[in-house]
């Protein structure tokens, strides 16, 4: 089945990501069965829009997408991160967040995988995703959304 499946982060503080992709609809979950978040996004080839989490504690994702670029925002107007990604045919690079809070993305797309690092060497997270039928920029946006949610949860503790 087409989709994105894998893990962001390590064994202890990482999150699983399982999203199915069918007719423009990306649906699934990241995190565990108890503390995880549902994902419901729609991709029409030019826009990626939707939400993860619930009605009260959920976050929005709205992006404009071209073949080689993705620009948008995740979260809200006040507590949210900008998302700016580029794809050169093999590497997805860019930034989620601002100059102080956020993370750089450096991911490699090859042979049905998207892997690499979100954030720096110390506070960043590894990313290893199996990708089938989903453009690399969209899979990278999903990884950034998971990282953003992990950042928010870490700030609460």
**11-28: pLDDT as tens digits:** 877 899 999 999 999 999
Query: Quick one: average pLDDT of 97-126?
Result: 89
Strand-pairing partners, residue 60, are 51, 75
Among 22-26, 28-32, 66-70, 119-123, the minimum mean pLDDT is found in: 119-123
DSSP string, 131-143: EESS-HHHHHHHH
User: pTM score, two decimals?
Assistant: 0.92
pLDDT at 137: 97
Instruction: Compute the Cα dihedral for 117, 120, 121, 124 and give only its sign.
Output: negative
- Give the other-Cβ count within 10 Å of 71's Cβ: 15
Question: The tokens of 113 are what?
Answer: 């995988």
Residue the block writes with tokens 């503390």: 35
Beta strands in 53-121 (DSSP E): 59-65, 69-75, 80-87, 91-97, 102-110, 113-118
For each of the domains in the chain, give its residue range(s) and CATH number, in order of start: 3-156 (2.40.128)
- Above pLDDT 70, what percent of the chain? 97
């Amino acid at each position: 089945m087409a989709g994105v499946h894998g893990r962001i982060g390590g064994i202890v503080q990482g999150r699983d990501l399982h999203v199915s992709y069918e007719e423009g609809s990306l649906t699934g979950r990241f995190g565990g069965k108890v503390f995880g978040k549902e994902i419901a996004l729609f991709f029409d080839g030019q826009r990626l829009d939707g939400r993860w989490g619930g009605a009260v504690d959920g976050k929005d994702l709205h992006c404009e997408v071209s073949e080689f670029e993705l620009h948008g925002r995740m979260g809200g107007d006040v507590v949210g991160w900008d998302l700016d990604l580029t794809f050169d045919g093999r590497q997805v690079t860019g930034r989620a967040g601002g100059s102080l809070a956020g993370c750089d993305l450096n991911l490699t797309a090859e042979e049905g995988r998207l892997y690499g690092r979100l954030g720096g060497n110390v506070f960043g997270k590894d990313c290893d995703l199996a990708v089938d039928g989903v453009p690399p920029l969209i899979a990278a946006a999903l990884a950034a959304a998971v990282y953003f949610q992990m950042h928010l949860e870490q700030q609460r503790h």
